[in-house]
Structure 1
Amino acid sequence: MTTAQPQELVDTAIDGILRSVPIGALDLETGGYLPEVVLGYETWGTLNADASNAVLIEHALTGSTHVARGASEEAGWWDSLVGPGATIDTNHYFVVAVNMLGGCYGSTGPSSPAPDGKPWGSRFPFVTIRDSVHAEARLADLLGIRRWHAVLGGSMGGARALEWAATYPERTARCAVISCGPASTAEQIAFTQSQLAAIRLDPAFAGGDYYGGPAPEAGLGIARRIAHITYRSEAELEFRFGRNAQDGEQPFGGRTHAARGRYAVESYLDHQAGKLARRFDANSYIVLAEALMSHDVARGRGSVAEALAGTETEFFLAAVDSDRLYFPEQSRQLARALPDPPEVHIIQTPIGHDGFLTDIHQLDAELVRSFFPLSAPVK
């Protein structure tokens, strides 16, 4: 365990700079065990004297802890939502973002050294969304945060936020679940299985023990292509690309398959695949994706309604109208299962699932009104 005291961890934090802290050993939901866990995290703003202004933001599947700009000025993935004068105003709120257990942005994962000094690789245990929440609660303890003012996230981040409300309702005053339902559906699991098969079938995967050799970038790239199609809508892809050829290429009329050029949409998917393969660990992709496949807030708790019965957590639910991965109806199902069913706010955008990132500003006024009253008024 770290010898740092909560006030020391908070006082030495620099906005938007990744830090890592050991939280000790962790018993896992399915019987696995990690003898030492480190969590990577970033913070913004200042924790007040009674630690009542702390906000936890949970990232999506391949997201990082870098939610917003900070000392480095590197753009964050929710810059429009978090920062001085933003919807979650860091002049008033202390924001924390944690890399999920099993990830590759500062937290213990498959690429981390096991007790024998070698990367965990294929030996890394199965982890669940619930396991990660237990680990995050340890970090909250180290930061001196007994109760979050709010926990929020989209997609896999929404699953983690919901699990916080079910597992630690006394520590979750408010919970915002965006573009996520109470459990992963059969179709979501099917899409994910196809992605994981692509990684595992890459010869470079080596059963998960590829560290020290070439990484399975081809398989990870295919996984990203499959996933990205579900993150965007048919209407957006048609509008942006249609049947257009990639500049300088001819996708029709080549004498052989190998000589064929690409359609513009193919080039787009190739670009998205390459970006992820360069920044993300394939084993972490598998670990986090399988954790999301296992997402079921009712597991071991009866029904969804029973799992969330009696909670005094205030909920904010939102969905994207064009989402074809997490349909808005799944958010409505979650709303109906809550003790005091809230309205499901709708982000209207043709983009699809990724609208929870690109068009989050549509929720600014409602979030400030209900969750972040100290923030600057939304114009």
Structure 2
Amino acid sequence: MVRELATRDLVVTVSQLESWRRTGLLPRHRRRGLGRGRGSVVDVIDPVVVESAAVLARHLRQGRDRRLAVLEWFAEAGVAAQPGAVQVPEPPLAAVREALVWVLRGSMSHRLVEVARGAAGAGEEAADGLYEDAGRLLAAHRYRGAANPALVRSALEADEDVPDGPDFKGMVHLVAAIGLGAQEVGADALAEAFAAFGLFGLTGEDWAQMLGAVERGEGPPVDWGLLQQRADVLGPVQQAGDEELLRARTVLLGLRWFYGLYAMHALFMPDTPALAALRARIDEWGMFALLDHAISLSPSPRHFAQGLVICLEPLFDGLYETLMEQLAADPALFEIPGDEAGGAASFMETWTRTLREQTARARERVDESGEGPL
């Protein structure tokens, strides 16, 4: 097998192969005995073993933690092979679960939950400390979401300033609600936190009105215990079965593609009825800001792990199913109305031409304003 991998420019030693076998990452070829104490030989070369060794060789660089390589392997195995290429086999799912838990234990999400739970029932001083500690963690990983692509595109076309995306600094109130309880945090603070996600298209004012009514007992009761349950990032992975992990990967990879199509609308990607229909479905669910928070187009293994645990949630599974149904109903994503040539190649030519035109327009505006080169 070492020679087979060498033909692919993958350098692997016998000791490495044995190490991977000992850790349960690489199965062994089936062997048959020679009889009379003469040992055994490989009965048949198993292509799954060879491909598993190849993917490990690609991702498990010297000095790198094997759990990161396992997550990259799991992500790669979820992508359909190109025509003529061999499908990457699945890694051992026990190793995948171990890697997910290891990564998530070190994530900021888990650290915030630990901070929140540490303050639960510990008095007013601990509550003040919770806000301070959570605020410090969030400030160290400051994040601003992307503005809605339709608004960005409109601003660029009108030569206006591009709007800012949502600022998630209000997340500190959600962390506090996990530790102290929603009643202690208050409706206005929670409204600020929920509004940052843009859920269901609701504004901060909308959330404040609804949560204020709940707080006053004028609306249907809310089970805030669910907020504390859903905050756990480790439990869902530890409790998920193998099929659930595989399904979450399908949802994550699928939503990444749909999210990418939506995000590219900001960059003058030609619009088609099919693309507009997909965006409309996401807007109906009020999910763009949440997708932007959860999905990374070029994810690291750590981003992949955090996205996967989010996609165990039924909300994301439901959105994925809705978008797949819409795609089946109108699959002509890259068919521009009135384009006689049609097809993906013509679509890309139109997009490239539009980008050149927009760049030229921007340069002309800069020249006219005397602000210097673009």
- TM-score scaled by structure 1? 0.29
Which structure's residues are more often strand, by fraction?
1
Which structure's residues are more often helix, by fraction?
2
- TM-score scaled by structure 2? 0.29
